[in-house]
Amino acid sequence: MDVNKVLFWIGHASFYIKNDGYTIFIDPFNIGPSINEKADLVLVTHAHMDHCNKDEIAKVLKPEGLVISAPNCLGGNEFKNFQVAKPGFSDRFKTSSIEAVPAYNTKKERLMFHPKENNWVGYIIGIGGLKIYHAGDTDFTDEMKGLNGIWTSLLPMGGTYVMDAAEASEAANAIGAEHSVPMHYKQVLGKEKADAAEQEFKKKVKNALFMKEVQEPRYSF
């Protein structure tokens, strides 16, 4: 399967996946007019506005679409079809499998941003026998070390709130996915520092894949 024909980077931590005639969005944010796809399913990793944004979800969600969200993000009344996913959540959506895994900070200086007790998540989406792992906002956790069989991993590397490029590289190598895709860095770092982070990630990760955004890239919020 060609990753560039099923997985599309909108920008920041926002992606969509096309599979068997339906579309899954993850953390829709800054959806511009060039994004014409509509979501049969929206997955939300956590409550921060650049990941959990009611208006952005409404832009892409089909009338009968399903929203699966980490706790303490959406109230459950905003959308017709809604489920809460904590770590350990597992379900199927059409021909895809959906699994929620822990996403949290471990570094002392970041603990207040994504506390483990919030039960925020990343997702493993199974399509056609292959697994895409969207890590959410996280540091390099023990749970990541136990992941196996991942086809494509989507890893934040903006630093400050999540892993920096060195930490994301370590996580990528531990997971050992066929494709290791960095995310959540351009809007945090700005162009010059983002370019440097890409170079570091490329140097350290054998299977690094730098996806091109499907809309004009943004380097600041």
pLDDT digits (tens, 9 = 90+) for 78-115: 898 999 999 999 999 999 999 999 999 999 999 999 99
SS3 195: helix
Phi then psi for residue 134, to 5 deg, are: -100, 115
DSSP 4-29: HHHEEEEETTEEEEEETTEEEEES--
In terms of Cβ atoms closer than 10 Å to its own Cβ (0-12, 13-18, 19+), residue 28 is buried
Ordered domains of the chain (ranges, CATH): 3-204 (3.60.15.10)
Q: Residue 51 is which amino acid?
A: H
pLDDT for res 156: 98
Give the whole-number percent of the chain exceeding pLDDT 90: 94
Model pLDDT for residues 113-158, shown as the tens digit of each residue: 999 999 999 999 999 999 999 999 999 999 999 999 999 999 999 9
Asked whether residue 44 carries a pLDDT value surpassing 90, the answer given is: yes
> Under a CB-based contact definition with an 8 Å cutoff, are residues 221 and 187 in contact?
yes
Model pLDDT for residues 18-35, shown as the tens digit of each residue: 999 999 999 999 999 999
Buried b (16+ CB within 10 A) or exposed e, 29-40: bbbeeebeeebb
Quote the mean pLDDT of the chain: 96
Report residue 50's pLDDT band, with 50, 70 and 90 as the boundaries.
very high
Report residue 178's pLDDT band, with 50, 70 and 90 as the boundaries.
very high
Instruction: Determine the Cα angle at 139 with ends 56 and 190, to 5°.
Output: 60
Instruction: Determine the Cα angle at 207 with ends 200 and 129, to 5°.
Output: 140
Overall average pLDDT of the 197-221 stretch: 94
pLDDT for res 219: 87
What radius of gyration do the chain's Cα atoms show? 16
pLDDT for res 170: 98
Q: Answer positive or negative: Cα dihedral of 152, 165, 205, 141.
A: negative
pLDDT for res 77: 78
pLDDT for res 75: 78
